[in-house]
């Protein structure tokens, strides 16, 4: 029985229809103040165990959905709003996300039957695109399955796969999950998740199971679990026993090419180290087989681009280290942020660009610089611009693409980067999203130095003596192994705030150019969007454009102002909640 009835108001939203009741939440469709339809999840906060609440206060799904800030990815449901409402003596938290018209993937298979291989791959590629985005935020989805994928209908009649449920999203888990596991689908779960381990590799397994489901119409190794009667141990034992059998990869109806059999076996490997290292690697394997001509062209273009610069790599499958030379004027690419740029010039750049003066004044050497702040505030741009401004040789490592140091081969690849940097010194190693590369494995944050973190510390500690500077970004410093957060590794830490007035103005100008507009007062828009990040501004402009297009009028100042009046920034840099270093 649903808690809220049609017509009841929750915040500024009106209940339209009840969808379902889950373990910790009820789902509804609601009408917003703009008369648009949205999805809403309502949580009885008192019924959720304390350890399943973010900092003991907020529902993880709400907090991480906000942190995900999915406006940049069409394959993941978008956060819209959240809040709190009281009914009787009960306090409820609610999450509002974008509404999609379409059909669940599970319903599509039930109604129409299995997909042919090419369509199954196209759907899987979209899901992997969404997963890559989630993983790039150092988050794990943990529940990829057909009923969590919506085939949303686009204006041109095409169906776009979108990950619509983030009910089990979390940081990397090695121990007790921060979400309920009772409703996870057993045959879509990776073997290690039955032992409380959830990583990028477990998402890879689930996506492999999804691809298998699309092709064969059922999950891999699927058997009837009725006899287990929901008992967790009996279910786990039954799944383990089923997976001892050889995986069926051919039936009377399905004849798979050898390459697809190999891809499925790799994605569904029982040992995490035998699976694809990332969603991108999984997607590339599919892409090269289904669209070989286009994949070859992209590879050729990439090789041509690398040959124009300076590159150094290995023949044993390790990633190519692309080395660039800084121009000395990288900060020209960063609009506004004058205070931050001046801090970086004074505290870091000056000594490195003036070694004689630094020696005369006995200025301390700098091994590492950490840039931190909420998603969407431009840390990646500042990172690359800093390297360009310094004028040294540099390379940029993307944490989610490299993998984390507890994965096989990652430390070896990092060592190759440091070795190349020493040869090409002075050199800047830029690491984007450090929390993914060096996650804190300790649940309570206590230091317990692992061999892997000791090896990374050995590379970074006093690397300035070899002419190497490490500059890294992170959304969450508290998620980085604290052993490398000390002086000797990272000597300078800078908070990167949301775009300032000039930067916000520039973002509005960029997003509104080439659209039908009346005369726009960009100064007013920049003032009204104080504390907005780039994603917030993008979303506001798109909403205004949608309203204008619907009414067949140019985008006006009034439409933009009306949108900004009811929008709030995703994060408050004034309080810096969730982004303190310690």
Q: Alpha-carbon distance 555 to 517, whole Å?
A: 4
How confident is the model at residue 294, as a pLDDT?
A: 43
Q: Which two tokens stand for residue 250?
A: 């051919």
Binned at pLDDT 50, 70 and 90, residue 139 comes out as confident
Is the pLDDT confidence value at 40 over 90? Answer: yes
59, 81, 113 from 102: Cα distances, Å: 27, 22, 17
Percent with pLDDT over 90 in the chain: 37
Is the pLDDT confidence value at 581 over 80? Answer: no
Q: Check: CB of residue 453 under 8 Å from CB of residue 405.
A: yes
Dihedral sign, Cα of residue 336, residue 338, residue 343, residue 346: positive
Q: Alpha-carbon distance 471 to 56, whole Å?
A: 33
Q: Check: CB of residue 249 under 8 Å from CB of residue 256.
A: yes
Binned at pLDDT 50, 70 and 90, residue 83 comes out as very high
Binned at pLDDT 50, 70 and 90, residue 45 comes out as confident
How confident is the model at residue 293, as a pLDDT?
A: 46
How confident is the model at residue 301, as a pLDDT?
A: 46
Average pLDDT over residues 174-182: 82
How confident is the model at residue 444, as a pLDDT?
A: 46
Average pLDDT over residues 12-41: 91
Alpha carbon 79 to its chain centroid, in Å, reads: 13
pLDDT one-digit tens code per residue, 466-478: 999 999 999 888 8
36, 131, 136, 169, 397 from 140: Cα distances, Å: 30, 8, 9, 6, 20
How confident is the model at residue 74, as a pLDDT?
A: 66
335, 386, 391 from 340: Cα distances, Å: 11, 11, 18
Q: Which of 455, 466, 477 is nearest to 409 (CA)?
A: 455
Q: Check: CB of residue 316 under 8 Å from CB of residue 416.
A: no
Tally the C-alpha atoms within 13 A of residue 238's C-alpha that lie toward its C-beta: 16
- Say if pTM beats, i.e. exceeds, 0.95: no
Q: Which two tokens stand for residue 561?
A: 């102002």
Q: Which of 265, 148, 143, 131 is nearest to 193 (CA)?
A: 143
How confident is the model at residue 344, as a pLDDT?
A: 93
CB atoms within 10 A of CB 147: 14
Q: Check: CB of residue 473 under 8 Å from CB of residue 380.
A: yes
- Secondary structure of 314-345 as H, E, C letters: CCCCCCCEEEEECCCCHHHHCCCCHHHHHHHH
Characterize 385-412 residue by residue with b for buried, 16 or more Cβ atoms within 10 angstroms of its Cβ, and e for exposed: bbbbbbbbbbbbbebbbbbbbbbeebbe
- Runs of H (alpha helix) within 168-216: 200-216
**Mean pLDDT of the residues in the chain:** 84
Q: Alpha-carbon distance 557 to 318, whole Å?
A: 52
How confident is the model at residue 159, as a pLDDT?
A: 67
Characterize 55-94 residue by residue with b for buried, 16 or more Cβ atoms within 10 angstroms of its Cβ, and e for exposed: eeebbbbbbbbbbbbbbbbbbbbbbbbbeebeeeeeebbb
How confident is the model at residue 192, as a pLDDT?
A: 93
Q: Alpha-carbon distance 577 to 571, whole Å?
A: 8
Which domains does the chain carry? 9-98 (3.30.200.20), 102-294 (1.10.510.10), 309-495 (3.40.50.300), 501-566 (1.10.8.60)
Helix (H) or strand (E) holding 13: strand 13-21
How confident is the model at residue 240, as a pLDDT?
A: 94
Q: Which residues pair with 103 in a beta bridge?
A: 151
Q: Which residues pair with 419 in a beta bridge?
A: none
How confident is the model at residue 576, as a pLDDT?
A: 37
pLDDT one-digit tens code per residue, 349-387: 999 989 889 899 999 889 999 999 877 778 888 898 999
How confident is the model at residue 443, as a pLDDT?
A: 44
Binned at pLDDT 50, 70 and 90, residue 208 comes out as very high
pLDDT one-digit tens code per residue, 141-155: 999 999 999 887 665
Alpha carbon 436 to its chain centroid, in Å, reads: 10
Kindly calculate the radius of gyration of the chain based on its CA atoms and give it in whole angstroms: 25
Residues in Cβ contact with 230 at an 8 Å cutoff, skipping those fewer than 6 apart: none
Q: Alpha-carbon distance 430 to 387, whole Å?
A: 8
pLDDT one-digit tens code per residue, 476-488: 888 888 888 888 8
3-state secondary structure of 150: strand
β-strands 37-44, 90-98: how paired?
A: antiparallel
Q: Which of 511, 385, 397 is nearest to 456 (CA)?
A: 397
Percent with pLDDT over 70 in the chain: 89
DSSP characters for 54-107? ETTTEEHHHHHHHHH-GGG-TTBPPEEEEEEEEETTEEEEEEEEE---EEEHHH
Q: Is the peptide bond before 572 cis (omega within 30 degrees of 0)?
A: no
β-strands 393-398, 427-432: how paired?
A: parallel
pLDDT one-digit tens code per residue, 517-554: 999 999 999 999 988 888 788 889 998 998 888 888 99
How confident is the model at residue 67, as a pLDDT?
A: 73
Average pLDDT over residues 282-309: 57
How confident is the model at residue 219, as a pLDDT?
A: 95
Average pLDDT over residues 289-318: 47
Average pLDDT over residues 394-415: 86
Please tell me which of 49-53, 110-114, 397-401 the model is most confident about, judged by mean pLDDT.
110-114
Q: Which two tokens stand for residue 1?
A: 């029985």
Strands (E), 444-569: 468-474, 492-495
Residues in Cβ contact with 323 at an 8 Å cutoff, skipping those fewer than 6 apart: 309, 310, 311, 312, 393, 394, 395, 420, 424
Q: Which of residues 518 and 176 earns the better pLDDT score?
A: 518
pLDDT one-digit tens code per residue, 103-121: 889 999 999 899 988 889 8
How confident is the model at residue 441, as a pLDDT?
A: 67
Q: Which two tokens stand for residue 430?
A: 């830029």
Question: Which residue bears the tokens 């929008």?
Answer: 567
How confident is the model at residue 78, as a pLDDT?
A: 86
Q: Check: CB of residue 77 under 8 Å from CB of residue 98.
A: yes
CB atoms within 10 A of CB 266: 16
End-to-end Cα separation, the chain, in angstroms: 44
Is the pLDDT confidence value at 575 over 50? Answer: no
3-state secondary structure of 39: strand
How confident is the model at residue 422, as a pLDDT?
A: 87
How confident is the model at residue 487, as a pLDDT?
A: 81
Average pLDDT over residues 548-567: 90
């Amino acid at each position: 029985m649903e808690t809220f009835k049609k017509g009841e108001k929750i915040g500024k939203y009106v209940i339209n229809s009840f969808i379902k009741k889950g373990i910790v939440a009820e789902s509804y469709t609601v009408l917003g103040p703009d008369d648009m339809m949205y999805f809403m999840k309502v949580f009885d906060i008192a019924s959720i165990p304390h350890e399943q609440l973010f900092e003991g206060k907020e529902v993880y799904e709400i907090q991480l959905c906000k942190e995900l800030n999915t406006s940049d990815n069409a394959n993941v449901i978008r956060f819209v709003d959240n809040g709190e409402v009281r009914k009787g003596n009960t306090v409820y938290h609610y999450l509002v996300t974008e509404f999609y018209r379409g059909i669940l993937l599970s319903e599509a298979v039930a109604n129409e039957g299995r997909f042919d291989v090419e369509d199954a791959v196209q759907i899987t590629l979209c899901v992997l695109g969404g997963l890559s985005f989630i993983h790039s935020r150092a988050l794990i989805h943990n529940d990829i399955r057909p009923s969590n994928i919506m085939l949303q209908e686009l204006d041109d009649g095409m169906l776009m796969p979108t990950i619509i449920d983030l009910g089990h999203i979390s940081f990397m888990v090695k121990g007790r999950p921060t979400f309920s596991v009772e409703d996870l689908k057993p045959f879509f779960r990776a073997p290690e998740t039955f032992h409380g381990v959830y990583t990028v590799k477990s998402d890879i397994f689930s996506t492999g199971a999804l691809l298998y489901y699309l092709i064969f119409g059922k999950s891999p190794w699927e058997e009837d679990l009725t006899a287990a009667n929901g008992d967790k141990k009996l279910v786990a034992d039954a799944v383990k026993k089923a997976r001892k059998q050889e995986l069926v990869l051919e039936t009377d109806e399905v004849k798979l090419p050898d390459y697809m059999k190999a891809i499925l076996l790799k994605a569904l490997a029982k040992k995490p180290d035998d699976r694809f290292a990332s969603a991108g690697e999984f997607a590339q394997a599919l892409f090269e087989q289904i669209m070989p001509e286009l994949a070859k062209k992209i590879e050729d273009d990439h090789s041509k681009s690398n040959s124009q610069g300076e590159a150094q790599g290995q023949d044993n499958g390790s990633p190519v280290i692309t080395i660039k030379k800084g121009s000395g004027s990288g900060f020209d690419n960063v609009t506004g942020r004058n205070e931050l740029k001046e801090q970086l010039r004074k505290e870091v750049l000056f000594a490195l660009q003036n070694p004689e003066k630094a020696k005369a004044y006995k200025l301390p050497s700098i091994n590492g610089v950490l840039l931190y702040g909420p998603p969407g505030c431009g840390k990646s741009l500042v990172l690359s611009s800093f390297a360009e401004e310094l004028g040294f040789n540099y390379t940029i490592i993307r944490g989610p693409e490299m993998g984390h140091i507890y994965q096989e081969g990652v430390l070896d690849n990092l060592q190759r980067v440091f070795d190349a940097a020493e040869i090409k010194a002075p050199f800047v190693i830029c690491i984007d999203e450090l929390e993914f590369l060096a996650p804190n494995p300790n649940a309570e944050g206590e230091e317990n130095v692992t061999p892997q973190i000791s090896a990374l510390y050995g590379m970074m500690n006093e690397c300035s003596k070899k002419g190497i500077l490490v500059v890294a970004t992170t959304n969450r410093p508290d998620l980085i192994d604290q052993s490398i957060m000390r002086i000797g590794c990272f000597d300078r830490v800078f908070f990167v705030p949301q775009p300032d007035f000039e930067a916000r103005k520039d973002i509005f100008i960029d997003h509104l150019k080439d659209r039908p507009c009346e005369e726009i007062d960009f100064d007013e828009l920049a003032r009204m969007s104080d504390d907005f990040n780039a994603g917030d501004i993008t979303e506001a402009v798109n909403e205004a454009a949608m309203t204008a297009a619907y009414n067949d009028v140019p985008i006006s100042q009034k439409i933009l102002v009306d949108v900004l009046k009811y929008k709030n920034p995703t994060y408050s840099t004034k309080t810096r909640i969730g982004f303190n270093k310690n």
